[in-house]
């Protein structure tokens, strides 16, 4: 059970245990609930673990709690497919191994001989990409590697992509991406993320973002690197080499989650932010720590419809200029988007002005401090446009 719980630490989802017989399934269930009594519930509508199997009236009394009608099994299937439902672990013999699609399923424990098409069908239950799940993990208790290789040979001969990757390959890839992620922080000390107070950890993150932004194309390259690292980490956990770097991965992901928060505009990508935050694999930082980037940067959360002189001047004085630029860019972009349905000409004018300023910065024609000054001027122009309407007694729509 420790293995599955370690998987759940880094990836919300479901697990499936495949047994040789109904007797083994029932006895395994009994053993698991002895270890985790809070997982058991006699009602179909509750509980973390269930056995799904067929049965008859002649079955032994120990089987009867796990024998359900077709309607009840369907209701359990809906629970299992729901990523938010607490039903997280199912024990089966034959059922749900073919024709059953549960995208949140990320771990399968196989303790049953399977071959050919049946084996590939079983693997297909777990390999669906879903949210931050790049693929599934198969845990083999019987040594079915030869049968799996034969099945894969038949599968790939038909022209399909390689369906499985040995975990060791994922571990090697994970370690490579870890080294690349570390390179973004050369000369930047981030040990306080692991040893400091919650306040110290929180205030380290804006400086980390600023450090990445100071590098050429830093944000794009960093986001891609940590994305690959996160996917390979999910495939590798709970390998000992993955456990050894989990806190460092947490730091890289916390910075990435803040990048999403800073750069996502108009509500786009909220699911990605939530997913990134959930993937923080250490108690080094909590979800509430990473949500308010403005407070972390030393600013009061702004009213983006106002962008007051006080707030704009505070932005100018922020020590992390690259982060200040990204924050201000996001706020102005959000403000421009709110006008899209009211004044298309004005929106286009402000958007073009913003794009030209950012392009000059990307081309290194102006530095971060200069672009912040220009963005502040754009914000003031937006505010002035609102004031002109108010002076004329016009509503926003007018």
Q: What string of DSSP letters covers 90-152?
A: EEESSTTSSS---TTEEEEEEES---HHHHHHHHHTT---BTTB-S-EEEESS--HHHHHHHH
Q: In this predicted structure, what is the pLDDT of residue 180?
A: 95
Q: In this predicted structure, what is the pLDDT of residue 312?
A: 63
Q: In this predicted structure, what is the pLDDT of residue 397?
A: 65
Q: In this predicted structure, what is the pLDDT of residue 295?
A: 54
Q: In this predicted structure, what is the pLDDT of residue 265?
A: 47
- Name the packing angle between helices 218-236 and 198-213 (round to 10°): 130
Q: In this predicted structure, what is the pLDDT of residue 56?
A: 81
> Which spans in the chain are helix H?
2-10, 22-35, 70-81, 116-124, 145-157, 167-183, 192-195, 198-213, 218-236, 240-244, 246-263, 270-278, 287-291, 293-296, 309-317, 321-338, 344-362, 368-391
Instruction: Write the pLDDT tens digit of every residue in 16-71.
Output: 999 999 999 999 999 999 999 999 999 999 999 999 998 887 888 899 999 999 99
* Strand partners of residue 251: none
Query: How far apart are alpha carbons 296 and 318 in whole angstroms?
Result: 11
Q: In this predicted structure, what is the pLDDT of residue 279?
A: 41
Q: In this predicted structure, what is the pLDDT of residue 374?
A: 74
Query: How far apart are alpha carbons 208 and 337 in whole angstroms?
Result: 29
Mean pLDDT over each residue of the chain, to the nearest integer: 78
* Strand partners of residue 92: 18, 52
Domains of the chain: 2-164 (3.40.50.300), 169-296 (no CATH), 309-391 (no CATH)
Q: In this predicted structure, what is the pLDDT of residue 287?
A: 37
Q: Which residues, given as ranges, of the chain have pLDDT below 50?
A: 265-293, 304-306
Q: In this predicted structure, what is the pLDDT of residue 275?
A: 44
């Amino acid at each position: 059970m420790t293995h599955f719980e370690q998987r759940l630490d880094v990836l919300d989802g479901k697990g499936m245990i495949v047994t040789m017989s109904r007797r083994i399934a029932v006895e395994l269930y009994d053993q698991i609930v002895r270890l985790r009594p809070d997982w058991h519930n006699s009602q179909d509508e509750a509980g973390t673990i269930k056995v799904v199997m067929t049965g008859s009236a002649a079955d032994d009394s120990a089987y009867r709690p796990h024998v359900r009608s077709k309607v009840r099994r369907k209701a359990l299937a809906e629970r299992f497919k729901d990523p938010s439902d607490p039903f997280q672990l199912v024990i089966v013999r034959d059922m749900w191994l073919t024709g059953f699609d549960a995208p949140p399923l990320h771990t399968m424990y196989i303790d049953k001989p399977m071959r050919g098409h049946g084996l590939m069908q079983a693997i297909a239950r777990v390999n669906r990409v879903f949210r931050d799940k790049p693929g599934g993990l198969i845990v083999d208790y019987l040594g079915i590697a030869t049968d799996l290789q034969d099945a894969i040979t038949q599968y790939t001969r038909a022209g399909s992509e390689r369906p499985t990757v040995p975990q060791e390959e994922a571990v090697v890839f994970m370690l490579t991406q870890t080294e690349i992620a570390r390179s973004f922080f050369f000369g930047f000390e981030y040990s306080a993320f692991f040893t400091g107070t919650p306040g110290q950890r929180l205030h380290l993150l804006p400086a980390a973002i600023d450090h990445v932004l100071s590098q050429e194309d830093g944000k794009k390259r960093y986001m891609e690197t940590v994305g690959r690292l996160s996917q390979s980490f999910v495939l590798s956990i709970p390998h000992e080499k993955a456990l050894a770097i989990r806190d460092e991965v947490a730091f890289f992901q916390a910075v990435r989650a803040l990048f999403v928060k800073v750069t996502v505009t108009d509500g786009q990508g909220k699911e990605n932010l939530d997913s990134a935050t959930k993937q923080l694999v250490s108690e080094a930082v909590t979800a509430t720590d990473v949500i308010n980037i403005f407070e972390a940067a030393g600013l009061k959360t702004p009213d983006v419809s106002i962008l007051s002189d006080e707030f704009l001047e505070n932005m100018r004085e922020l020590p992390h200029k690259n982060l200040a630029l990204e924050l201000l860019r996001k706020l102005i972009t959000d403000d421009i988007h709110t006008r899209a349905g009211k004044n298309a000409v004005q929106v286009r004018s402000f958007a073009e002005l913003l794009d030209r300023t950012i392009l000059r910065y990307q081309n290194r024609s102006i530095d971060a401090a200069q672009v912040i000054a220009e963005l502040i001027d754009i914000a003031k122009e937006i505010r002035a446009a609102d004031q002109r309407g108010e002076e004329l007694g016009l509503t926003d729509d007018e």
